[in-house]
Each structure stands twice: as C-alpha cells, then as structure tokens.
C-alpha cells in the first residue's frame, strides 16, 4: 500500500466513525481521549491538543474497543487499525 499523509488517514478514520453514527468530539481538558457513553449515546472524545498521530491512534483504539464488525470496514480502515494496534503492542513489550 502506498504511504499516505497522516492528515489523510485521520480524515478517513473520522469519516468512518461518523458514518457509523458515533459522535466524534475534540475537546480541551486533562485527558487523552477514547470511547465513552454519555446519556446512552456512544461517542469518541479526543483531546483537541493531541497531535495527528495521537488522534489516529486513539480513533483506531476506540474502533477496536467498540467492536465494529470488520465487514463494515474497507481494506484501508482495516489496514490503519491493524497498523495502530501493532504499534501499541510493540510499545507495551
């Protein structure tokens, strides 16, 4: 697969999440972000000050946490999520 700019990857993940009907918000605060449920509405909240790579990582983690069926993901989204999860496993080891 051709190397893509992080901004394009982030935009693709944001579009995918919103297409699932999940609210995506960027807010300021003392937190990194992730998936949460507020008043029975699932949403992903990400720190507005996070850099692009961190936003990509948090979105990928949130999609995995939600448990989105892989049949709903195109190959690009699957690849992005697999890459981000692999990076997390390397860091934890």
Q: Quickly state the pLDDT bin for 92 (edges 50, 70, 90).
A: low
Residue closest to 70 by CA, chosen among 2, 20, 11: 20
Q: Quickly state the pLDDT bin for 91 (edges 50, 70, 90).
A: low
pTM, two decimal places = 0.83
**How far is it, in rounded angstroms, from Cα 59 to Cα 45?**
9
**How far is it, in rounded angstroms, from Cα 79 to Cα 59?**
13
Q: Structural domain boundaries of the chain?
A: 6-92
Q: Measuring CA to CA, how many Å separate 39 from each of 43, 51, 56, 65, 91?
A: 10, 28, 25, 18, 34
What pLDDT sits at residue 93?
54
Model confidence over 44-66: pLDDT tens digits?
999 999 999 999 999 999 998 88
Model confidence over 11-34: pLDDT tens digits?
999 999 999 899 999 999 888 898
């Amino acid at each position: 697969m051709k190397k893509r700019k992080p901004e394009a990857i982030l935009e693709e993940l944001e579009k995918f999440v919103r297409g699932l009907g999940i609210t995506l918000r960027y807010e300021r605060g003392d937190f990194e972000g992730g998936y949460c449920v507020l008043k029975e509405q699932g949403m992903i909240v990400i720190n507005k000050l996070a850099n692009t790579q961190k936003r990509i990582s948090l979105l990928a983690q949130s999609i995995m946490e939600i448990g989105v069926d892989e049949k709903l993901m195109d190959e690009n989204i699957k690849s992005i999520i697999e890459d981000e999860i692999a990076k997390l496993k390397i860091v934890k080891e």
